[in-house]
Chain A
Amino acid sequence: MESIKCKNLSKTYHGGKKALKKITFSFKGNGIISIIGKNGAGKTTLIRILSTELMPTSGSAYINDIDIIKTPELIREKIAIVPQEARPIHWLSPKQNIISYLMYRGYGFFESMEKAKTALKKVSLNSNLNKINRVLSGGTKRKVLVATVLSSGAKIIFLDEPTTGLDPISRNELWDVLNKLKKDYLIILTTHYLEEAERLADKVGIIDNGKLLAFDSIDGLRKKIKYNYSLKVQGDFPKLKSYHGKVIKGIDNNYQILTNEEGSYILSKIFIKKGIRFSTNQISLEDIFYYMVKKPITEERVEEDEW
């Protein structure tokens, strides 16, 4: 069974920038771990350390109980990474791309050729075997990279922002591929698409300013913040005596109230009575993310309402 564990993992770059601050988490089994965070939060630094590309400043990290900081060479046969902004090599075909990568992993030429065909079939790219990578669409290029690492025999795969820049259709196609694969692999992916993490992840790590704010399943995260409903108010934000929860500024700087079932019921009644337009939903990862990364602003609420 695959496992990953890190304790107090910290990284300070030469310029003094603290990219990671005492990151601690562990996971056992197959599935997808999604690390989410803003740009510059530390996601890539974490992935690069775990994939043995970068040395941490302090702390420990183990993959399948192997100390990857002291003995990275012992784990490299079991891991593979698609780095952020990676692209298949332009002058190769998808098949040639995979064959070359597999040979770096020690496979022979003919074995690599067979594996390349199988991997490309797995991600539905068998019709693009011999086209030149340069002419492929962005989504197809990403699929080539995913096929490249999947064919490697590695059971632990790191994908650093694999869907950044893809159109919604290509993104959905890649999500389908990853969803099918997650039962056989431990995939650690970083993203700033919260929808992606929500769709794919068994565990979500929320990272901000180098700190791991939470590491749990989406249900676990919901429990952690104690609220399970989100009310999005359209128009001017009402001043209330009590918000029965926390007020956050979500996407597009719109106010929303995170509350529980009872609070949602009470607030809905008030809003209907006052003619305030609103929508209510079960709390999403996006709400959780904004709650954790941005400070709740209940304390800033202005004068109390009379009613």
Chain B
Amino acid sequence: MNGKKLNQIIASILINSIYAMKNYPILLINTLLAPLSILVIIVFISRGALLGVGIEGALIMTMISAGIGLQGDLSHLKNDFKLQDMVVSSPTSAFIYMFGMGISELVFSIPVILLLSILAVLFLHLLVIQWIILIIILLVVFLFSISLGFFLSTLTTDVMQSWGFTGLISTLLSTVPPVYYLITYIPKPFQYIAYLSPTTYAAEIVQSTTGYLKITQLNFLLDWIILIIVTLIIFFISIKKSKWRED
């Protein structure tokens, strides 16, 4: 990657996270609260039994939140400040803009990721291979969520519309699917609904890798295949179909 592209990525990070956090530090507290609040509820209700699953779920939720946040932020920047129009007419490409904005959401989530990582070290006691799988899954979920966020943001023409998408994605990807708990807690017929969300597959992989959920090797393999295919499809759709230079 050349210096120009790196500067273009940093521009998004500055706008959407560093300067935002510098000028409004309260945002830092907000990013911490969302994933942690559900974690606390899950731990209290399960009397601590689901602490490990909850930490893993909160990490997945943080990655999904990045995409949800990206969708809202991009829509706000595009429709209210016309930033995207200014960037389209600049040397920055759609991919670099999306990548930079995606990373900016990750930078924004650094405090919560750090906190959850500390909790994971303290309570999960993972082996190196388990850490590697967890990190890979988080990266795949992150790619999926920012691709979806970018795609939806280019379709929205108003922040109100964007809020509609935010609620929908949040419910479909992080509340309905068994991210903070095990899929076995869901009655059988409803499990099929949970499988409509890619985060269910991500959670299953992580939970089975860390020993909280027992699934067959075939199931494990299928989870990977489905998660990767869905992510790649959404990624390519977001690149191809997103409105950058409008026609």
Interface residues of A, Cβ cutoff 8 Å to B: 48, 51-55, 72-73, 76-77, 79-93, 96, 99-109, 132, 148-149, 152, 158
Contact = CB atoms under 8 A, between A and B. Distances in A.
A86 B4 CA distance: 25
A68 B20 CA distance: 35
Given A54-B246, A87-B81, A96 B89 contact: no
A83 B7 CA distance: 23
Given A90-B81, A91-B19, 20 more contacts: A48-B246, A53-B88, A53-B245, A54-B246, A76-B89, A79-B89, A83-B86, A84-B82, A86-B81, A86-B82, A88-B81, A91-B24, A96-B23, A103-B14, A104-B87, A104-B90, A104-B91, A106-B4, A106-B5, A106-B91
A80 B89 contact: yes
A90 B20 CA distance: 10
B172 interface: no
A232 to B, nearest CB: 39
A158 B85 CA distance: 12
A55 B246 contact: yes
B86 A101 contact: yes
B88 A103 contact: no
A103 B7 contact: yes
A158 B89 CA distance: 10
Contacts of A104: 7-8, 11-12, 86-87, 90-92, 97
Interface of B: 3-5, 7-8, 10-12, 14-15, 19-20, 23-24, 77, 80-83, 85-93, 97, 245-247
Pairs of residues from A and B, 8 with the lowest C-beta to C-beta distance, nearest first = A103-B11, A106-B4, A86-B82, A83-B82, A83-B85, A55-B247, A51-B89, A104-B11
A281 B62 CA distance: 68
Contacts of B83: 89
Contacts of A73: 91, 93
A92 B89 contact: no
A102 B89 CA distance: 13
Contacts of B93: 73
Contacts of A77: 91
Given A83-B85, A89-B83, A91-B20, A108 B15 contact: no
8 contacts: A52-B88, A55-B245, A80-B86, A81-B89, A84-B82, A85-B82, A86-B85, A91-B24
A91 B18 CA distance: 11
Contact of B80 (A80, A87, A96, A148): A87
B246 A53 contact: yes
A79 B89 CA distance: 7
Given A55-B247, A86-B86, A76 B91 contact: yes
Nearest to B85: A83
Given A89-B77, A103-B11, A105-B91, A82 B23 contact: no
A83 B80 CA distance: 11
Given A52-B89, A96-B14, A106 B8 contact: yes
Contacts of A54: 245-247
A100 B23 contact: no
Nearest to A101: B86
A26 B19 CA distance: 42
B81 A81 contact: no
A21 to B, nearest CB: 18
A91 B12 CA distance: 14
B108 to A, nearest CB: 13
A53 B19 contact: no
A41 B77 CA distance: 26
Contacts of A101: 11, 86, 90
B19 A96 contact: yes
A51 B246 CA distance: 12
Contacts of A152: 90
A108 B82 contact: no
A77 B92 CA distance: 9
A103 B245 CA distance: 20
A100 B9 CA distance: 10
Given A77-B91, A83-B82, A101-B86, A108 B11 contact: no
Contacts of B81: 86-90
Nearest to A77: B91
Contacts of B14: 96, 99-100, 103
Contact of A92 (B8, B15, B87, B245): B15
A132 B23 contact: yes
A89 B80 CA distance: 9
Nearest to A134: B23
